[in-house]
Amino acid sequence: MKIVVCVKQVPDTTEVRIDPATGTLIRDGVPSIINPDDRAALETALVLKDTTGATVAVLSMGPPQAEAVLREALAMGADEAILVSDRRFGGSDTWATSLTLASALRRLQADLVLCGRQAIDGDTAQVGPQVAEHLGLPLVSYVGSLRPEGDRHLIVKRMFEDGHHVLRVQMPCLLTILKDMNTPRYMSAPGIFEAFQRPITTWTLDDLDVDPSQIGLKGSPTRVKKSYTKGTKSAGKVYEVDPREGARIIVENLREKFII
Amino acid sequence: MTDHLDAPHQLLLQMLRDFVETEVRPKAKAVDEEERFPEETVRQMARYGLMGIPFPKEYGGAGGDNLAYTLAVEELSKACGTTGVILSAHTSLCAAPIYEHGTEAQKQKHLVPLAKGEKLGAFALTEPAAGTDAAGQQTTAERRGDTYVLNGSKIFITNAGYADTYIVMAMTDKAKGTRGISAFIVEKGTPGFRIGKKEEKMGIRGSATCELIFEEAAIPAENLLGKEGGGFGVAMKTLDGGRIGIAAQALGIAQGAIDATVAYVKERKQFGKPLSAFQNTQFQLADMQVRTDAARLLVYRAARRKDARLPYSVEAAAAKLFASETAMEVTTKAVQLHGGYGYTREYPVERMMRDAKITEIYEGTSEVQRMVVSAAMLR
Amino acid sequence: MDISSYKGVMVFAEQRAGVIQKVAFELLGIGRDIADRLEEPLVAVLMGSGLSPDCIQALIAEGADEVVVVDHPRLDLYRTGPCAQALTQVIGAVKPGIVLLGATAIGRELAPIVSARMRTGLTADCTSLEIEDGSRNLLMTRPAFGGNIMATIICPEHRPQMATVRPGVMRRKVSDPARPGAVRTLEIDLDGSEGPVEVLEVVSEKAALKNIEDATVLVAGGRGLGGFENFRRLEELAETFGGMVAASRAAVDEGWVAQDRQVGQTGKTVRPDLYLACGISGMIQHIAGMEESEFIVAVNTRADAPIFEYADLGIVTDANRLVPALIEELKAVKASR
C-alpha cells in the first residue's frame, strides 16, 4: 500500500498574540509546526506502515521553509518527502491549493491519501474534500479511527456531532483525520539524523500537469477583502456577592451577550 | 542560546522538548517523592533512540554525536534530574567505554543492545575505601582458566539493579597499583554477583544508587575490556566523558530552575505588583541566566571537542566544575525568589536544589575538577 | 461565467433522522435578511428519504419563500457521494447567487465538494454575512489564525457564492405558521449502487465529537472545588448550557476528570463562546489555554485569584454554592421561553 499524507506548515496559533498598542498580530518568534490534524494523519499512516508494511510519502505545498515540516515527518518515520513550491502558487485559496495538490498527487499515484481535517491557521477543513473532488476519489471526512480490511478496503469510523457511521471504503480514497484519533509519536533520534541525509523532492509548477490560469491568486475564486484584529478586551467587572446573587448576575450578563 | 546549533540539533531539541513535557515533567515530582526509578520513561527513551545517541547506526545507535547527547541530558534534567543521570550513566559510563575500548565482538554483543536501549548500563569504580583515590581498589579479579573471578564490593553505583550491563573495575595485580587495575563487562545474573544496600539520598531520589557485591563471581575472560592492567586508563577516560554528561545534567537543572522561577515571578504578586516588577528579582534572574549561559558554552565546548576528536579532559573538568557550582547557586537563588513557597514541595525548585548538590560530588568532586584544571595550567 | 443569471439565496436545511438541525433555522434567519436586502427569493433545500410535510412547513414558517424537496431512498441517511451529487444538481437547477450551509460535520464536508465541483469559491465558518453596497457581493467574515484575526472574504467572479456558517451565531426569525411559501419537488438522478463507500453501521451517541476544543460552552473546574463530588456537579451545569466540562491541571491531577478535558499549556487550547471557570485560580499555564475565549466568567472565593484579571465577569463567592443556584436560574430562563 502506498500512502501519501498531505501536511501543512502552520504558525502555532496558540502562541500568536495581538500587540495591544497597534492591534496587529505579533508573528515574531511564533514557531512553525506541522498542523496538528495533519500530524495525526501522519501517525495514522505510520501505524499502517508498522502493521502492514505500507510506504509513506509526505506532501506539502508552501514556501521553501516548509521543508522543515517535511524533515520532521521524515524524522517521525516517513519514507519520502515532496515539497510543492513555486512563487506562482502564491495567493492560492483552497480551490487553487486543492487543484495544485491534486496534480501532485496524480503524479504520486497513492492507494490512500490522508489529510488532516483542518489547519489551525485557516480552520477551513476545505482542502482535503476539494482534493478528493479534483481527483475523483471517494472521500471520508472526520475520520475517528480506521483499520485495513484485506488489501483494498478500509473500515473507518466517520464522526458526527451526534454519533458516527462505520463505513467500508474501497481504495484508492482520501480520508481526513481528526486530531483526537491518536497520539502522534515523537520524532526519533536516529530518524532526525537520517532525515538530513535524505533528499526532499521539490516540484514547481513546471513539474505538474495543471493549468497555470487555474492556480495561485488568479485561479482563486475567493479574495480577502480585508482583515482586522478583534481588538483587545478591557478588564471585566468583579462582584463580591453571595452565590445566589452571583448566579443571577451571570445569567443577566449571558442574556445580554445572547449566549443564552 | 540555541541559534548556534545546526538544523539536525535544532530538530533534536524540538523533539526532546516535546518528549520531556509529555513523558518526563509530569512524573518528576512523583519520581522524587516515591524514590521511584522511572522504568517506563527509560523504555520510551529506548523507543525513540535516546539511549544510544552518540553511537553509529551499525552499533544500534542514533548516528548522532556527543553534542546531541549533551542536549538530551540537559533537556531531561530541566524537568527531572533523576532521568538525566540515568541517561548519563548509561551512555557515558557504560556504552561509551565499550565503544571506545571494546573489541568488535564486545561491541556487537554488549554495545548494540545498550545503544538500542534494550539493555541499561552502569559503571562501578567507587569502593568504600576508594572514592576520589581510585587506586585504592580492593575488589580483585583473579584469572582462572577461561574466566576471571571477582571478589569485593562497589558502592554508590548509579542504575544498579535496573542495569543489565556493568563496567566493573577490579585489581588483577595488586602489586602494580593503578597499573594493576583492569576493566570488565559484567552481566546481570552472573552467579556470585548481587545488588546490595540501596542508598537513601538527598536528591536524584528516583535514581537507583546501590552497592554491588561480588563473591566468587566468575565472568568469561572475553569480558575483559581493554588490556589487563589497562583499567585505570579506561576508567579515567570514561570519567572524562562522564563529566560532560554530569555537566549537562547540572546545566539542565539550573535552566529548569530558572524557567520555573520566571513563570513564578510573573504570576506571584506582592505589594500589588508581580514579583517580576521588582528590580531585585530582575537582577537576580539576569545573574542566574548569564551564569547558566556561560556554563552552557563550557559544556558544549567540551562536547564539541570530543566530537572533533580533540583532547577534552580539561575542558570536561572545567565544564563540570562550573556547571555544577552554577546549578547549586542558581537553584538556591530560585528557592529564595520563590520565598516560602520555594521551600515547599508544591513547587519544583526545592527538588532541583537537592538534585543540584550531587553534581558537585559525583564523577569527580569539584575539588578533583580543580585539580585537573590547575594541573594542566601548571604542567 | 455569466454571474447575473444566478439569483436568490439558498439555504441547505440539514436534517438528521428527519429532524431539521437548529443551524438550518439560523441560516434562514440570516438568509431572510440577505434575500430582503437583495430583493431576491430565499430558497431552502431539504434532502432526505420519506420527509415529513411538517419539516417543509417549519422551513417556510421561519422565512423560506420556497422549499426545494429532494426525496430519494439513497438519501435515507447522510452519505457523502449521493448527498453531494443531489445538492450539485439542485444548485444547477435553481442557480442561486448565494448558497449557505451550516458549519457542521456534514456541511463542512458537503460544501467543499460542491464548491470544487462547481468551480466556485467557499468561505468556511462565517460569523457574519452582509451584502456590499454597489457590487451587491456577499461579504463573508470569519475568524482566522486561531481566532486572532477576522477576515472578510468575497467571491466576486464566481457563482454561487458559498459559505458555511457557525452554528449558534445567527439569530432565528420568529416562526410564523401562516407565512406563505412554495414547495417544489425535484427529481434527481442518483447512482443506485453502493459505490466505493458502504455504510456498515449507524451509531448515535450523545456528543460523539467529544472534544472540548469544539464546544461552544465550557464549564471548567479547578482545585478550588475541593472534591470529586463537587466537580461532578459541573456536568449538570454544562448540560444545561449544552456545553462540556473542562478542567485545570490541578483537577486532572486530583483524578476528578480525564486528561482529555485539561485546558492549558500541557492540555488543550480552547476558544468557546463562554468559558465559566469555577474554583480555578488562574495559573499562567491554565490561562494560556483559555484566554482567547469569547466571554470568560470566573467564580472563585479568593478575590486576588489571577483568573479575575482575565475574566469578563468575575464573581467572588463559593463556586460550589453558586453552581446549583446557576442551574436553577438557567432552568427558570428556559421555562420562561
Q: Which residues 6+ apart lie within 8 Å of A150 measured at CB?
A: none
Rounded Cα gap, residues B160 and B208, in angstroms: 6
Which chain A residues are closer than 8 Å to C80 by Cβ?
138-141
Domain C3-185: which CATH class? alpha beta
- Using one digit for the tens of pLDDT, what is the confidence trace for C100-112? 999 999 999 999 9
pLDDT band at A25 (very low <50, low <70, confident <90, very high): low
Flag the least confident range among A135-139, B220-224, C87-91, C240-244: C240-244
Q: Inter-chain contact A193–B7, Cβ cutoff 8 Å?
A: no
In the predicted structure, residue A256 carries a pLDDT above the cut 90: no
Mean pLDDT (chain B) is 96
CA distances from B36 to A86, B114, B162, B345 (A): 54, 22, 12, 16
Q: Which of C254, C280, C284 to mutate to test the interface with B (most CBs of B within 10 A)?
A: C284
CA distances from B336 to B89, B257, B265, B342, C81 (A): 31, 11, 11, 7, 65
What's the pLDDT score for residue B133?
79
Which chain C residues are closer than 8 Å to A126 by Cβ?
108, 111-112, 115, 122, 124
Share of chain A above pLDDT 70, in %: 92
Nearest CA-CA partner of A198 in A86, A45, A78: A78
Nearest CA-CA partner of B137 in B174, B191, B105: B174
Asked whether residue A233 is domain-assigned, the answer is no
CA distance C278 to chain B (A): 19
Give the residue with greater pLDDT, C148 vs B123: B123
What's the pLDDT score for residue A132?
97
Asked whether residue A174 is domain-assigned, the answer is yes
* CATH 3.40.50.620 location in chain C: 3-185
Cα A208 to the center of its chain, rounded Å: 22
Q: Tell me the CATH number at A48.
A: 3.40.50.620
What's the pLDDT score for residue C135?
93
Q: Inter-chain contact C266–B21, Cβ cutoff 8 Å?
A: yes
Q: Which B-chain residues 255-294 have CB contacts (< 8 A) with chain A?
A: none
Share of chain B above pLDDT 70, in %: 99
Residue B345 touches chain C, beta carbons under 8 Å: no
Residue A189 touches chain B, beta carbons under 8 Å: yes
In the predicted structure, residue C191 carries a pLDDT above the cut 80: no
Asked whether residue A229 is domain-assigned, the answer is no
pLDDT band at B341 (very low <50, low <70, confident <90, very high): very high
In the predicted structure, residue A23 carries a pLDDT above the cut 70: no
Q: Which of C76, C140, C148, C296 to mutate to test the interface with A (most CBs of A within 10 A)?
A: C148
- The amino acid at A141: S
Rounded Cα gap, residues A102 and C215, in angstroms: 32
Rounded Cα gap, residues B265 and B254, in angstroms: 16
CB-nearest to B62 from A72, A186, A193 is A193
C272 and C218 Cβ atoms separated by less than 8 Å: yes
What's the pLDDT score for residue B46?
98
What's the pLDDT score for residue B272?
85
Give the full edge-to-edge strand order of the sheet including A163-170. Answer: A201-203, A80-84, A55-61, A2-6, A112-116, A173-177, A139-149, A153-160, A163-170, C197-204
C61 and C175 Cβ atoms separated by less than 8 Å: yes
DSSP letter at A184?
Answer: P
* CATH 3.40.50.1220 location in chain C: 212-336
- Using one digit for the tens of pLDDT, what is the confidence trace for B169-196? 999 999 998 999 999 999 999 999 999 9
In the predicted structure, residue B19 carries a pLDDT above the cut 60: yes
Domain C212-336: which CATH class? alpha beta
Q: Inter-chain contact A192–B15, Cβ cutoff 8 Å?
A: yes
pLDDT band at B102 (very low <50, low <70, confident <90, very high): very high
Q: Inter-chain contact B267–C266, Cβ cutoff 8 Å?
A: no
Q: Where are the beta strands (DSSP E) in chain A?
A: 2-6, 9-11, 17-18, 25-26, 32-34, 55-61, 80-84, 112-116, 139-149, 153-160, 163-170, 173-177, 201-203, 223-229, 237-240
Q: Which A-chain residues 86-125 have CB contacts (< 8 A) with chain C?
A: 93-95, 98, 120-125
Element (H, E) at B210: strand B209-220
Cis peptide before A184, with omega less than 30 degrees from 0?
no
Which chain C residues are closer than 8 Å to B22 by Cβ?
266
CA distances from C156 to A191, A212, B209, C126 (A): 47, 20, 73, 17
**Residue range B55-75: mean pLDDT, rounded:** 98
Mean pLDDT (chain C) is 91
Q: Which residues 6+ apart lie within 8 Å of C283 measured at CB?
A: B267, C248, C249, C264, C306
**Residue range C175-190: mean pLDDT, rounded:** 94
Q: Inter-chain contact C304–B21, Cβ cutoff 8 Å?
A: no
Q: How many CB atoms lie within 10 A of CB A40?
A: 24
- Give the torsion through C-alpha atoms of B178, B180, B184, B190, to 10 deg: -120
What's the pLDDT score for residue B26?
93
Cis peptide before B128, with omega less than 30 degrees from 0?
no
Residue given cell 477543513 in the structure block: A125
**Residue range B43-51: mean pLDDT, rounded:** 98
pLDDT band at A161 (very low <50, low <70, confident <90, very high): confident
Which chain B residues are closer than 8 Å to C259 by Cβ?
none
Q: Tell me the residue range of the domain where A173 lies.
A: 2-219
Q: Inter-chain contact C148–A18, Cβ cutoff 8 Å?
A: yes
Residue C304 touches chain B, beta carbons under 8 Å: yes
In this structure, what are the phi and psi dihedrals at residue A31, rounded to the nearest 5 degrees? -70, 150
Residue given cell 595488586 in the structure block: B174
What's the pLDDT score for residue C3?
86
Q: Which B-chain residues 15-44 have CB contacts (< 8 A) with chain C?
A: 21-22, 25-26
CA distances from B225 to A223, B126, B153, B261 (A): 71, 18, 19, 45
Give the residue with greater pLDDT, A42 vs A180: A42
Handedness of CA B12, B17, B20, B22 (dihedral sign): negative
Mean pLDDT (chain A) is 92
What's the pLDDT score for residue B358?
98
Q: Which C-chain residues 16-55 have CB contacts (< 8 A) with chain A?
A: 16
What's the pLDDT score for residue B147?
97
What's the pLDDT score for residue C208?
53
Determine the residue of chain A that is closest to C271 in CA distance: A14
- Using one digit for the tens of pLDDT, what is the confidence trace for C244-294? 999 998 898 888 988 889 998 777 888 888 999 999 998 877 887 898 888
C236 and C251 Cβ atoms separated by less than 8 Å: no
DSSP letter at B206?
Answer: T
Looking at the structure of chain A, the number of domains it has is: 1
C123 and A222 Cβ atoms separated by less than 8 Å: yes
All three cell numbers of C247, joined, read 478542567
Flag the least confident range among A76-85, B129-138, B224-233: B129-138
In the predicted structure, residue B139 carries a pLDDT above the cut 60: yes
Q: Which residues 6+ apart lie within 8 Å of C139 measured at CB?
A: A225, C128, C129, C130, C131, C132, C152, C153, C154
Asked whether residue A10 is domain-assigned, the answer is yes
B85 and B204 Cβ atoms separated by less than 8 Å: yes
- Give the torsion through C-alpha atoms of C142, C145, C151, C155, to 10 deg: -80
Rounded Cα gap, residues A259 and A253, in angstroms: 9
Which chain C residues are closer than 8 Å to A183 by Cβ?
none
- Using one digit for the tens of pLDDT, what is the confidence trace for A197-249? 999 999 999 999 999 999 999 999 999 998 887 655 566 889 999 999 999 99
